[in-house]
Structure 1
Amino acid sequence: MPSLYITEPSARLRKDGGYFVVEVGEEVVQKLSIETVEDITVLHCVNVSSHVLTECMIHSIPVSWISNYGLYYGSLWGLKTVDIEKHMQQFLMANDFEFSLQVSKVMIMAKARNQLTILRRYHRKDTKPEVAAKISDMVALLPRISTAHSINQLRGFEGILSRYYFEALGSIVPEGFAFTTRTKRPPEDPFNAMLGLGYSMLFNEVLASVMHVGLHPFVGHMHAIRRDHAALVSDLMEEWRAPIVDALCLSLLTKKMITLEHFNRVEHGCYLTKEGRKILLYQS
């Protein structure tokens, strides 16, 4: 079942019988059976009819709103997605220190191994000593994950691993897209702009899956539970950042499907153009 992304600011999403219809002006650009749509993500300025929203709540199809640059604003979902018994169990498990610690260890280890897979794959094609050094640094740190005695200590290891990874990744990307660190809100360079939008897409997909099975998206283990933060979604997406988003962005650059012409540099950051967003979204 597909995810529906609507990125054209002048677009309108309406319901026509058993179909969702996307229009731009007088032109119908997409028509999908309601039964085939799993989740919907729209730019904040897209017009979504009340009939669509009602249908989505009836069929438990989450609708999420994002900014032009992928910043998540919020989602709408129906009552059928709320399983209060699961929520109560989640809160109990979130207060179980040992359970949260062990789950977090699994998440961080899986994330690190996927990051290493990406680095090794590209390092075989274009050997660079600085990348080899960061791979060695990451491998040396992995055993400490299993011996961590607190969530905060694990977060510290995860931060160090991510720093090593992004430093190596910055050396792997094609010339013109090199970067030294992960930046967001705003992204300061083209590759970070791609990652930011890609991670927002991944966030929306995981959020939709979490809500479909009746879990509470704000009750997690590795990420701190706080206001305005879907901690469980952040937990679950960590493992998939590298193999899904990072790999996609690298592929688009190496195949020259996205070039520097697909970015706008402004005073407050660097962002994909409308055409660049379409390429990234349609290839995902």
Structure 2
Amino acid sequence: MSTLYITKPNTILNVSDKYFQIHQQNQLQAEIPIHQVSQIIIFSPNKISPQATRIALSEQKPILYISEQGYLLVHLNDFQPPLSKTLIQQKKQWRNQTFSHLLAETLIRAKLHNKCTLLRRLNHSHSTQLATEAIKTLALLLEHLPSVNSHKALWFYHNKANNLYYPALGSLLPEVFQFHQRQDTPPLDYINTLLNLGYALLSQNLFTFIREVGLNPHWGHFHLNCINHTPLVCDLMEQFRAPIVEDLVINLVNSQLLTCDDFLPPDDLGNYLLSPAALEKFIYHWEAKLTAQINHYLAGQMTYRRCLQWQVQAYVDYLLGKIDFYQPLFVTWKANKPLALFPVKQTIKQRRFVSFS
């Protein structure tokens, strides 16, 4: 089972018998057996025919539309999870403020830790004052996170971390790719365009795994009001943004696998768009990232894609009371060693702060 990406301009996805058909300029370019496709990702302004849409949704293959700027436009799916013990328990805990707060705090801790770790790795070889100060402040936010006792305060920590992190990250990139803030709509620099694209693809993968285990992706615990996004997907994404999306984007620009020449001239609104060839290049490296091996704290070596699936199942086990706490993925890094993932345990009675030493 694989993801079908529609990237080349003026492409229409159709269906005939048991095959998805890719047409360009009224000519058939390829046929893919329907049963081999798990999800479809279409980049604007390409199209999918009504017939192909109907077939895909009837077979529970979600369709994601992504804009030329890289952000998610529409997420189509007709999947209605059947009433089950898992779904009943999810709704119960969705309404449980204590459960939701503890889970949200756990995920924000993973977000802050992983972003801080990524900054430390980059700052190790090319230090900037902005990054050094951001690392110190993020560590302080982590230290005080257990004292946060409201949803509003958690959002303050979340937003404060973003306001520190992204300018620091920008200062560590090659000069032509440096940026000063996270801005998804519209993306007015190269990196924000790449981040939009990576976050959209990460969202789609998590959505698929959430749907497969019969959860309702609209019942989140931290992200309660999302536009064009699903709350539970946004919640679980927090632990993966830095080690998957941001690490990939940094590697692509630092290694010059993507350069300024891979972007089209800014449009009338100042948006920086990837060329069609560069978009295919990004997707190639995205798939390579998802199939890269990482040392998981419980299962040993596994791919990042498997990590996504594993963490969704861990959330299900937490909902059902099979485990006492949800263990998000924390990235650890030491000089001259690859990234690894390890657990940090948290229960209602016990919280542990992660040391950066």
TM-score norm. by structure 1 comes to 0.90
The aligned counterpart of 1:149 is 149
Q: CA deviation at 1:187?
A: 1.2
1:207 aligns with 2:207: yes
**Aligned partner of 2:173: which letter?**
V
Q: Deviations over 1:79-103 (max 9, x none)?
A: 4x42344555433222211000100
1:282 aligns with 2:281: no
Q: Which of 222-231 and 140-149 deviates more?
A: 222-231
Q: CA deviation at 1:268?
A: 2.0
Confirm or deny: 8 A CA contact 1:193 1:272 kept in the other structure: yes
Change (3 A) 1:228 1:51: closer
Change (3 A) 1:26 1:229: closer
**Aligned partner of 2:197: which letter?**
L
Q: For 2:50 and 2:123, locate their aligned partners in 1 and report how far apart those are by CA, in whole Å.
A: 51
The aligned counterpart of 1:4 is 4
Change (3 A) 1:189 1:107: same
Q: CA deviation at 1:29?
A: 4.3
**Percent of aligned positions that are identical:** 29
Q: For 2:128 and 2:11, locate their aligned partners in 1 and report how far apart those are by CA, in whole Å.
A: 46
Q: For 2:226 and 2:241, locate their aligned partners in 1 and report how far apart those are by CA, in whole Å.
A: 22
Q: For 2:270 and 2:144, locate their aligned partners in 1 and report how far apart those are by CA, in whole Å.
A: 36
Q: Which of 21-30 and 263-272 deviates more?
A: 21-30
- List alignment gaps of at least 5 residues for structure 1: none
The aligned counterpart of 1:269 is 270
> Match of 1:218, SS?
coil
Confirm or deny: 8 A CA contact 2:70 2:194 kept in the other structure: no
Q: CA deviation at 1:271?
A: 2.0
> Match of 2:239, SS?
helix
**Aligned partner of 1:266: which letter?**
D
Q: Which of 135-144 and 122-131 deviates more?
A: 122-131
Count of residue pairs the alignment pairs up: 283
Q: For 2:181 and 2:28, locate their aligned partners in 1 and report how far apart those are by CA, in whole Å.
A: 42
Change (3 A) 1:78 1:45: same
Q: For 1:105 and 1:94, locate their aligned partners in 2 and report how far apart those are by CA, in whole Å.
A: 15
Confirm or deny: 8 A CA contact 1:225 1:231 kept in the other structure: yes
Confirm or deny: 8 A CA contact 1:109 1:142 kept in the other structure: yes
> Match of 1:232, SS?
helix
**Aligned partner of 2:283: which letter?**
L
The aligned counterpart of 1:159 is 159
Q: CA deviation at 1:26?
A: 5.3
The aligned counterpart of 2:348 is none
Q: For 1:212 and 1:9, locate their aligned partners in 2 and report how far apart those are by CA, in whole Å.
A: 31
Q: CA deviation at 1:247?
A: 0.9
Q: Deviations over 1:102-124 (max 9, x none)?
A: 00011111111211221122222
**Aligned partner of 1:7: which letter?**
T
Two-structure CA RMSD over aligned residues (Å): 2.2
Q: CA deviation at 1:74?
A: 2.2
Change (3 A) 1:227 1:50: closer
The aligned counterpart of 2:224 is 224
Q: Which of 183-192 and 226-235 deviates more?
A: 226-235
Q: CA deviation at 1:249?
A: 0.9
The aligned counterpart of 1:119 is 119
Change (3 A) 1:198 1:227: closer
